[in-house]
Amino acid sequence: MFAFCLLILSGCGEQETRIYEYEDEESYFSIEVPADWTVDINEGWPGFSGDTPEESYEASPDVGLYIYVDGEEENQIYFYRQWGHISSFLKEDGKVSVNESLSAARYKEERDGLVLETYIFDEEGITGGGFYALSIALPRQVYRSHQKEIQRAVESICIR
């Protein structure tokens, strides 16, 4: 398994951004975010069959990229692939076209001062089961002040 930062981009008069991608034998996805946001990689873990049930554990159900707006862990966006059942506790906001090649069901609401937004990407072309999603949980003020950057990040998503 390997995941890495692919490229640093900067443009004249534009905010410096970085493209982060996750790739392993079964998954590939990437996203472009502002360079001052922090990204941690979740590579998951393999399952293990021990001699007893207590020594055994299942493999991680997800792999992905934790993105921290302004480098603050409480300002979290998680872009991931997950194997298992899919559901959202948020209200569906409808189907959206993310970019030329991707569409998603979007779920969004505000609760206790947080903006909660989830994109569950269409499964067309995904092999090996599971699904890809992006979940945003940000304080209302942080979400509003970074709305353009968040939208550009969502539009930059690539899944293969």
Asked whether the beta carbons of 103 and 95 are under 8 A apart, the reply is yes
Low-confidence ranges of the chain (pLDDT < 50): 1-8, 10, 12
Q: Given this model, what pLDDT does residue 45 score?
A: 75
What is the full DSSP assignment across 81-133? Answer: EE-S----SSPEEEEEEEETTEEEEEEEEEETTEEEEEEEE--TT--SS-EEE
- The tens digit of pLDDT for each residue in 41-58 reads 998 877 666 676 666 566
The domain 2-159 having CATH identifier 2.30.240: the answer here is no
pTM, two decimal places: 0.82
